[in-house]
């Protein structure tokens, strides 16, 4: 087993060394580690590989609305130099351009516009939704065809996870009276984050769950779910904490309100940092091969790369579990019956 692992490491290292030469040739002397940040950030195109001077990419729709020009449609390739494959102010189209940091701007700085583009992360979200629909519809169809039978195929994989989220997260944290109402959301949250994390580990995949806008949206959903389901006892503990002297209420109440906001914010930061850091570590080990162009460094980096990938699979599952668990805890606190004893 060890020999097979080392042979695989050597083969992968040779591949990365060859790939690094193509990156250097395509970059015309530019930094060979310049690929790292674009793989972590969102982008207006989906870049798959660079072979010599040829870039294998998927142009994505750039959709812009402005009050003066209305709705406009472009492709990301329209904003590029077709020889160097670079974005920049010199390659503007329709009064807009994409800069080197993959941000869309208007040539007229006073123009107001709204960006509805289908970026790499948006495409990733569509792919994850398609995967989830396939998994869930296949599972549902199995139970429709064979009700009351033991699950098989995809259903045998999905059912234990559903039962775990229902019984060990929703029921435990929210309670017997209210857990059924929130279980569908918790299941959606868990599977969406988990599948997003796992798909994001594939080469050239988008960093959806490592995007702060995506994690912030999930955090806002958790905040809304908690605030709008808070019962009388929950809000009483916020604005009239039991046992707190009246003179201390002007200090305690703002702290309690601030706590309502920081709880989902901690989930947002935790998921964003964990996933982004993992991707950067993996890409950094690949960059070492590019920098040193040594077979020894390549083998060592590849061994660490494979190990870190296994760790990332574990982290992907843990982060989905933690986000779902804490969401259930916050909701459970909001709907818990007031203790009269």
- Give 118-162 pLDDT, tens digit per residue: 999 999 999 999 999 999 999 999 888 888 778 888 888 999 999
pLDDT of residue 11: 43
Whether residue 34 lies inside any domain: the answer is no
pLDDT of residue 54: 73
Pairing of the two strands 61-66 and 45-51: unpaired
Nearest to 64 by CA among 26, 35, 93, 30: 93
pLDDT of residue 211: 87
pLDDT of residue 28: 43
Find out whether 276 and 208 touch, Cβ atoms under 8 Å.
Answer: no
Find out whether 73 and 116 touch, Cβ atoms under 8 Å.
Answer: no
pLDDT of residue 68: 86
Whether residue 154 lies inside any domain: the answer is yes
The Cβ-side half-sphere exposure at 238, using a 13 Å CA radius, reads 17
Whether residue 100 lies inside any domain: the answer is no
Q: Which domain holds residue 146?
A: 120-335
Whether residue 300 lies inside any domain: the answer is yes
Q: Is the pTM of this model over 0.85?
A: no
Residue 115 exposed, middle or buried by CB count within 10 Å (0-12, 13-18, 19+): middle
Find out whether 40 and 56 touch, Cβ atoms under 8 Å.
Answer: no
Positions of the chain with pLDDT under 70: 1-39, 50, 52, 338-341
The Cα–Cα gap between 239 and 218 comes to 26
Whether residue 69 lies inside any domain: the answer is no
User: Strand (E) positions, the chain?
Assistant: 45-51, 54-59, 61-66, 70-75, 96-98, 104-106, 114-115
The Cα–Cα gap between 122 and 174 comes to 32
Whether residue 93 lies inside any domain: the answer is no
pLDDT of residue 46: 85
Find out whether 93 and 74 touch, Cβ atoms under 8 Å.
Answer: yes
Indicate the DSSP class of residue 167: I
The Cα–Cα gap between 73 and 88 comes to 19
Find out whether 175 and 336 touch, Cβ atoms under 8 Å.
Answer: yes
Whether residue 129 lies inside any domain: the answer is yes
Whether residue 38 lies inside any domain: the answer is no
CA 33, 97, 48 angle in degrees (round to 5)? 40
Local structure of 55: helix, strand or coil:
strand
Q: What's the domain count of the chain?
A: 1
Find out whether 209 and 192 touch, Cβ atoms under 8 Å.
Answer: no
Neighbouring-strand partners of residue 98 = 104
The Cα–Cα gap between 215 and 208 comes to 9
């Amino acid at each position: 087993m060890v020999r097979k692992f080392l042979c695989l490491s050597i083969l992968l290292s040779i591949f990365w060394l060859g790939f690094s030469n193509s990156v250097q040739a395509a970059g015309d002397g530019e930094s060979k580690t310049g690929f790292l940040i674009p793989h972590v950030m969102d982008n207006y195109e989906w870049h798959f590989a660079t072979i010599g001077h040829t870039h294998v990419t998927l142009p994505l729709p750039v959709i812009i609305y402005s009050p003066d020009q209305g709705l406009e449609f472009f492709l990301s390739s329209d904003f590029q130099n077709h020889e160097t494959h670079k974005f920049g102010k010199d390659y503007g189209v329709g009064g807009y351009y994409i800069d080197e940091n993959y941000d869309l701007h208007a040539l007229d700085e006073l123009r107001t516009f709204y960006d509805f583009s289908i970026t790499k992360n948006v495409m990733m979200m569509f792919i994850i939704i398609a995967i989830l629909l396939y998994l869930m519809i296949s599972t549902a169809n199995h139970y429709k065809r064979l009700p009351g039978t033991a699950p098989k195929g995809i259903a045998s994989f999905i059912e234990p996870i559903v039962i775990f989220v229902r019984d060990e997260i929703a029921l435990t944290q929210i309670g017997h009276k209210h857990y059924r109402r929130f279980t569908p959301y918790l299941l959606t949250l868990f599977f969406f984050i988990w599948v997003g994390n796992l798909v994001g580990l594939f080469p050239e995949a988008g960093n959806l769950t490592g995007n702060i806008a995506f994690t912030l949206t999930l955090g806002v959903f958790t905040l809304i779910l908690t605030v709008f389901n808070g019962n009388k006892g929950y809000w009483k503990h916020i604005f009239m904490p039991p046992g707190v002297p009246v003179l201390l209420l002007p200090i305690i109440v703002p702290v309690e309100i601030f706590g309502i906001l920081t709880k989902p914010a901690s989930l947002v930061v935790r998921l964003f940092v964990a996933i982004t850091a993992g991707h950067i570590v993996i890409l950094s080990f690949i960059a070492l091969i590019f920098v040193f162009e040594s077979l020894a460094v390549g083998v060592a980096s590849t061994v660490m790369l494979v190990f870190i990938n296994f760790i990332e699979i574990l982290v992907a599952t843990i982060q989905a579990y933690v986000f779902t668990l804490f969401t259930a805890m916050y909701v459970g606190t909001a709907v818990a019956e007031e203790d009269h004893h």
